Structure 1
Amino acid sequence: MASSSASPVAPDARQRLTGQDLTLAYDRRTVAEHLSVSIPDHSFTVVVGPNACGKSTLLRALSRMLKPTAGSVLLDGQAISSLPAKKVARTLGLLPQSSIAPDGITVADLVARGRYPHQGLLRQWSETDERIVDESMAATGVAELADRFVDELSGGQRQRVWIA
C-alpha cells in the first residue's frame, strides 16, 4: 500500500467516511502516500491486501487513532480531527485485530461500556441503554454468555462480544 494512483475523493452525502490524498507514516517510515478512499454509507467494506501493506494503518487513520502526515480524513463531510471524541464514537467503531478486555469483566459489562458515548454528562444508565445492550447481545449471538468472563471465551466468541 505504499502508493495509490486514485484521484482525490470528492465529499458526497452518501460517503460517510473519506480519506483524501493521505500520507500515512510511523515516525519517519512512510506506509502509504497519496491514498484516497471513500467508505459509502450503509455498506460493508473490505480492505484486502498482503501482510504488512498498510491495511491496519489505513483503518487507524480513518478512525482518528493515527494522524495522517498529509491529507485529510472526513466524517460526514467534516474533518474528523476537529470533531469531539464522543461524536466520533457515536458514529464510528473500529474492532482491532487483537482487543484486550479488562481482567474480570463479564460479557454484559463489556457490551454495556459501548453505551458510554451515548449517555449524558452524568452517565445515568437508562432502560434504553439496557434494551440496546440486550438487543446487541442477541443480534451477535452472545446473549447466553452475558454472565461469563470475557477472558474465558473462545476467540470467535470474543470477537462477537466486541462487535456487540
Structure 2
Amino acid sequence: MKTSKTQQEPTMNTKPQKEHQWLHKLVGEWTYETEAMMSPEQPPERATGTESVRTLGEVWVLAEAQGEMPGCGAVTMVITLGYDPHKQRYVGTWIGSMMTYLWFYEGELDADENILRLNSQGPAMTGDDKIANYRDVIEFKSDNHRVMTSHVLGDDGQWHQFMTVNYQRKQ
C-alpha cells in the first residue's frame, strides 16, 4: 500500500528552509578565545584557536576547529549542524581529538532567532563514569562576533556555566 508524504515526514531531497539559512551565518573563518572553569577550586583556564566553517549542500554546516583546550593541550574538534524538519529541531554532532565520545545535539532557536540552544548528553566531568546533561548556547552579538557558552546540569537541578568561547570573524 502506498502512502502519501506530508511535510513532516523525512525525505531524501530536503529543500532548504529558513532554519538552514540561519546556520549559514556561521560560515567563514574565525579565531576564538576560550575561558573554562574546570573546577570551582581552580582559576579559569584560557586557550585560543581557529575555526573554519563551511556548508555541506544547503542544509548542513561543518566546522573544524584547531587550537588549545584547557586541560587537554592541542586539539582538533569537528561539529556538524543542520535542521531536521521532521523533528522541527536543530540537530548535530561534535567530536574532538581528545576523547572517543560522539556527542549528539538537538535544540532550538529562541523567539528572536538570535540564540541557538543545543542539548546533549555526555561523560560527566566528575570522572566517575556518569552521564550528564549539557547545553551549548550559541549567540550572535554581531555578524562578526558570536559567543558560545557551555553548561552542565548539576545535581541541584540548575544549569551551571563552565565555559565561554568568544569567536571573532577573520577580516
Which interval holds the TM-score relative to the shorter structure?
A: under 0.3
Using structure 1 for the length normalisation, give the TM-score: 0.24
Q: Which has the higher helix share?
A: 1
The structure, 1 or 2, with the larger RCO (C-alpha pairs under 8 Å, 6+ apart) is 1
Q: Which has the higher strand share?
A: 2
